[in-house]
Amino acid sequence: MSEKKNIAILGSTGSIGTQALDVIRANKDSFTVEVLTGNGNADLLIKQAIEFDPNTVVIADEIKYQYVKDALASHDIKVFAGKKAIAEVVQMDSIDTVLAAIVGYAGLESTLSAINAGKQIALANKETLVVAGDLVTKLAKEKGVNLYPVDSEHSAIFQCLAGEFHNPIEKIYLTASGGPFRGKDKTFLSTVKKEQALKHPNWEMGAKITIDSASLMNKGLEVIEAKWLFGLKPEQIDVIVHPQSIVHSIVQFTDGSMKAQMGLPDMKLPIQYAIGYPNRMKSDFPRFDFIKYPQLTFEPADTKTFRNLALAFEAMNKGGNAPCVLNAANEIAVAAFLKDKIGFLQMSDVVEKCLQTVAHIAKPSYADYVETDKETRRIAEELI
């Protein structure tokens, strides 16, 4: 008989969080939900708590504390509020694995806290590695913590590496769908509205990552994420556009052989692999059918039109706090685009200007990252 894994889901009310709960609902014998956290969506958090009966829930938005507390009054569930509380509850003894699925920089503190307490991490929150990949991976090593990637491309690389961990990687190819504006030019992009950008051809995701996918910033963040997860040099990472999103990424080894991981685009698969590792749990997800996809195609990424990808490579090459600047500027730019305050192409302008303006720190401490994030947000807001 296998023991159940006790899991904390940070960001349970989001796209990844709700899909993780779908996976857990279908595999009740393998998991116990210990902690659920949300931010603004109190009603969904309450509903999830009633269904999954966790030890603790945390609502990040403190204004909603009383509402959640009252709704769960007749249940034996502890209720806390605020960001600090999330960073505290992840250290509970009863937790084995933390699924880090908060979006953006907001997920950094709780992920670091969980690693500090020696929890295994299923990592969806790519911004954590973009902002402070050196600190996060160093701490994980020190604490004997594994970072299991949830991001589909990184899960693909991780799956290709099974049985190969002693074999050096020559190169990886991260695949990109190209998003809803693949093949479009700058004239077209200068007119697009959030409604168009929010329609991703292959994936249903939260608003921020959907905009990042349309602007190719998502792929840029993933390049930096891959550098840290797999200990790669920048020149070992390439991006290839693959509009069908069937090949999730590719590893090339030093003998020239390549391994790719494939499947229909469904985030439940990488989520399930990350939280179920090392086991592959059975699923009834639809299977890939070659005849329905007679052509899998590949093309180069257009970094002239989609400058964000080039900016991300630039930040990665510069290192230090540059990726932290890139991330913070992008978070502010995406939020402004979602409020119709700036156009689609201006998002790259904000990021580029911040990369030029914020003082470079070659070896940042945690406090430096916090300060860089704050300062970049201030400058980005001013630019908008």
Report the nearest approach of Mg ion to the CB of residue 248 (Å). 8
Report the alpha-carbon distance of residue 122 to residue 181 in Å, rounded. 30
Report the nearest approach of ligand NDP to the CB of residue 105 (Å). 9
237-241 and 247-253 as β-strands: parallel, antiparallel, unpaired? unpaired
* 3-state DSSP assignment of residue 231: coil
Report the nearest approach of ligand NDP to the CB of residue 251 (Å). 19
For residues 127-166, which are near Mg ion according to CB under 5 A? 151-153
Instruction: Work out the angle between the directed axes of helices 322-338 and 346-357 (0-180°, nearest 10).
Output: 150
Preceding peptide of 278 cis, ω within 30°: yes
Q: Which is nearer to Mg ion, 54 or 243 (CB)?
A: 243
Check: CB of residue 97 under 8 Å from CB of residue 9: no
Q: Which residue among 49, 267, 332, 379 contacts ligand NDP (CB under 6 A)?
A: 267
* 3-state DSSP assignment of residue 96: coil
- Residue 101 interacts, among Mg ion, ligand NDP, none and using kind-specific CB cut-offs from 5 to 8 Å, with ligand NDP
Report the nearest approach of ligand NDP to the CB of residue 376 (Å). 17
Q: Which is nearer to ligand NDP, 206 or 320 (CB)?
A: 206
Could you tell me where the beta strands, DSSP code E, fall in the chain? 5-10, 31-38, 56-59, 78-81, 97-100, 120-123, 147-149, 169-176, 237-241, 247-253, 258-262
For residues 273-302, which are near ligand NDP according to CB under 6 A? none
Sign of CA dihedral 124, 129, 132, 138: positive
- Residue 250 interacts, among Mg ion, ligand NDP, none and using kind-specific CB cut-offs from 5 to 8 Å, with none
Q: What is the total residue count of the chain?
A: 384
Q: Which is nearer to ligand NDP, 149 or 364 (CB)?
A: 149
For residues 241-260, which are near ligand NDP according to CB under 6 A? none
Binding mask 100-119 for ligand NDP (x = CB under 6 A): -xxx--x-------------
Is 174 one of the binding residues for ligand NDP (CB under 6 A)? no
- Chain residues binding ligand NDP by CB under 6 A are 11-17, 38-41, 60, 83, 101-103, 106, 124-127, 151, 203, 205-206, 208-209, 267
